[in-house]
Amino acid sequence: MNSKLYGLMVSTLAIVIPFGAFSDIVEPFNTSNLNPFVQTHNLPSARSAQVIERNTWQFRLTSEVANNFTSSDQNRETIKIDGETWRNQLTINYGMSERFEVSIAIPYVVHDGGTFDGFIEGWHKTFGLPNGNRNSTERDQLLYQWQADGSMGYNLSNKAQGLGDVRLQLALQLYKEANRHITLISGAKLSTGDADLLLGSDSNDIFAGIYLSQHNFLGKSSLTFHGSIGGVRLGDSHLTRVKDWAGYGSLSLIWKRWQSVALKTQLDFHTALYKSRLSELGKFSGQLSVGGTIAINKKMSLDIGVVEDIITDTSPDVVFHLSIRRHF
């Protein structure tokens, strides 16, 4: 699946050369928390508040791989998260009018032992970062396990893959001027993934949020700021200890350094999704993305980034991010 996806990306890049002008819309990273117990809910990700033009389409193909390693034991709860999660998502947007936009996000999720453990350990050693208990654990194994009150909530030790939970959303632009856009985005997440394999959450969730985009940020024509804040109503599920409500948001700063290259950094956060005293499940989560956008032509761009957990254990150790966006 992943090799085919990268083949598709490379083929697409070959088709669109030669290079052209920089795309007018520089978007935030299309990423969210890939903790295997959190990504099942497919929380809304950061995006521009600028809706696409009427009767136009935008296709985004995103591939991310998260390396997870953490364990905790507290108050009759134990958790072990050791493995890699791939999330490959196709997002399709359509401009219905000057103010309305609809979209669908279709994820394909893979849980596996992976291949990056050795690289991560070497990275930590090079920069003097702690390895936790990585050195005493077999490399490249898969074990996503959570026990609560003496009963096993989850125990995934074999490779699992398949369709995740599909997300539908509607964007309504509330305010628009030359450099500022404010948009209301709402929608639903459908239970299309297999919860027993941690591909979905077994619930139909609804969400709504306010998104802001400010170009010419701080009076600098090269800077763009994006921000969002929202809430999600988590639907009924057989999953253990899921909360009724959660909040989410993001802050992004983009610097268009050259005509065809923009550098960006982004903070994504959300409140706990589970009623748990474990950091991995019951703590406010924050992750930081750094990287950039390369313009292929006026209608197509490529995002490359790395994501780190800035609140320890609440999100993966590291995520590698690749995304291609194309307007039609």
Residue span of the structural domain in which 17 resides? 2-327
pLDDT more than 70, % of the chain: 87
Picking from 70, 35, 92, the residue whose alpha carbon sits closest to that of residue 269 is 35
Q: How far is CA 320 from the centre of its chain?
A: 11
Q: How confident is the model at residue 23 (pLDDT cuts 50, 70, 90)?
A: low
Q: Which pLDDT score, from 0 to 100, does residue 19 have?
A: 43
Provide the CATH number for the domain around residue 87: 2.40.160.40
- E-state strands within the chain: 57-74, 77-95, 100-112, 143-148, 151-156, 160-163, 167-176, 180-189, 205-215, 223-233, 245-258, 261-270, 285-297, 300-309, 318-327
The answer to whether the CB of 197 falls within 8 A of the CB of 207 is no
pLDDT tens by residue, 165-198? 999 999 999 999 989 999 999 999 999 999 999 9
φ, ψ for residue 102 (rounded to 5)?
Answer: -120, 155
Q: What pLDDT was estimated at residue 14?
A: 42
Contact between 249 and 232 (Cβ < 8 Å): no
Mean pLDDT of 30-50: 95
Can you tell me the distance from the alpha carbon of 228 to that of 47, in angstroms, rounded to the nearest whole number?
Answer: 8
Residue pair 232/43 in contact (Cβ under 8 Å)? The answer is yes
Using alpha carbons only, give the angle 154, 189, 112 rounded to the nearest 5 degrees.
Answer: 40
Domain count, the chain: 1
Cα–Cα distance measured from residue 37 to residue 263, given in angstroms and rounded to the nearest whole number: 30
Q: What is the pLDDT of residue 131?
A: 61
Whose structure tokens read 């999704």?
Answer: 273
Beta bridge partners of 155: 145
